[in-house]
Structure 1
Amino acid sequence: MKFTTLACITFIVVHVSFLAPVNSVNPACDKIEITGCIPAILYGDKPTAQCCGKMKAQQPCFCDFIKNPVFNKYVTSPQARAILKFCGIPYPTC
């Protein structure tokens, strides 16, 4: 039992250390999560509840995403604005 617990703790610590960003000021804003939003982005479908939940959780990161050239197009696109509006999330003013 003790060996199993120790092995689990070691596994978690090792994997978390590899996932943690090294030079990020706000680690929560180093990636954008669009799970459940793909049909809304690609086809203009209504966003799912999962999509709206992900957008609400990432709301504090929107200005960081807008400033990041990699993520900018995903946050400033007409589809992104429509998703935010549908989900009741105000578009950020940075």
Structure 2
Amino acid sequence: MSYASCIPVMIVMTVLMVQVNVGMAQGCNPLQLMPCLSFIMSNTAPAADSQCCNVLHGQNSCLCSYVKNPGYGPYLRMPGAKTVASACSITIPDPSTCT
């Protein structure tokens, strides 16, 4: 992915992540998932001990609220998100099973 094509993606992600979602559990901060964005967008697997996997494990209890959020959910349904989740030994929940 070229630098020029990353800029619009980063702008969109920043705008979406700045929005406050009152329904998210305390401690949930989707901005912490930024180290995973390039892996998701390029559909590449990070190393299991990467910063991406570390923050993903830390935000694991928040994934239901993220996947149900119309701003974040589409990114978590991308093929790259499944690649990242698998590499990090995390399961991205199905929104229909989240309570």
TM-score of the superposition, structure 2-length normalised? 0.59
Gaps of 5+ in 1: 1-20
Which residue number in structure 1 is paired with residue 26 of structure 2? 27
Determine if contact 1:35/1:54 at 8 Å carries over to the other structure: no
Indicate the percent of aligned positions where both proteins have the same amino acid: 26
Q: How many residues align?
A: 74
Decide which moves more: 80-89 or 33-42: 33-42
Please list, as runs of the form range in 1=range in 2, the aligned pairs for 1:1-94 lying within 5 A after superposition: 23-24=22-23, 26-48=25-47, 49-93=50-94, 94=97
SS, match of residue 45 in structure 2: coil
SS, match of residue 46 in structure 2: coil
Runs of 4+ in structure 1 deviating by more than 6 angstroms, as ranges, are none
Deviations 1:39-77 (A, max 9, x none): 312323331410000111111011101111111112121
Task: Let me know the Cα RMSD of the aligned residues.
Answer: 2.5
Gaps of 5+ in 2: 1-19
How many Å separate the matches in 2 of 1:24 and 1:38? 23
How many Å separate the matches in 2 of 1:25 and 1:40? 24
TM-score of the superposition, structure 1-length normalised? 0.62
Q: Which has the larger radius of gyration?
A: 1
